[in-house]
Amino acid sequence: MTATVTPITSMHRLYSFVAGNSGGWLVEQVMRVSGELLPAAPRIAVVAETSAHPPRDATWCLRGITSNERYVTREEKTALAAKQEGLGRAQASCAAMIPIRKSAAWWAMPQDERRDIMEQQSRHIAIGLNYLPAIARRLHHCRDLGSNEPFDFITWFEYAPADSAAFNELLRELRASLEWRYVEREVDIRLRRADS
């Protein structure tokens, strides 16, 4: 008897980021923040899809899945919901894709200690809130897709060209925090919407 494997039904929770010659986002800059860089490619396609197989001509393909929140409190959730805007806004023709891997020391900690570092000691959410609604974001988790994923998270941000400096300031604040001492690989990819 042949076993049938049912494809993952993601309901658009699973996203692939495919670097290559096609896609709606033009790569403007690929910067190494820590760890190994990713190879450059002219474009990135963000695809909501179920397939585990990247296109054959892709330079690279990273996958991540959106998930429930792990750390936010009720108060923070309410504050975020009141301020944040979604992806795909007409004026938000700039994007940043920042894949991140955290260290084994980070993952060895229980959730309450990670939350303590992330918020009590680093103010990640409080800092981030200051930049809403200019910056829209989506967090994708990679760890639970398998043990071969090169990153733990793929972060995606969209903003108007006029907010580029604010976005850089946000990164400066976050990267100076205690939380970022647990980041062992980070690549900062800046993009512009191809039709903009």
**Which residues of this protein are in contact with ligand HEM, per CB under 6 A?**
69-72, 80, 98, 100, 102, 124-125, 128-129, 131-132, 135, 137, 139, 153, 155, 170-171, 174
Cα 133 from Cα 137, distance rounded (Å): 10
Report, in Å, the least distance between residue 73 CB and ligand HEM: 9
Query: What Cα–Cα distance (Å) separates residue 142 from each residue in 25, 58, 73, 105?
Result: 21, 19, 23, 18
Residue number with CB closer to ligand HEM (8 or 125): 125
Report, in Å, the least distance between residue 3 CB and ligand HEM: 35
Residue number with CB closer to ligand HEM (25 or 131): 131
Largest interatomic CA distance in the chain: 60
Report, in Å, the least distance between residue 69 CB and ligand HEM: 3
Which residue's beta carbon is nearest to the bound ligand HEM?
Answer: 128
Residue number with CB closer to ligand HEM (21 or 109): 109
Cα 140 from Cα 68, distance rounded (Å): 10
Residue number with CB closer to ligand HEM (49 or 169): 169
Report, in Å, the least distance between residue 152 CB and ligand HEM: 7
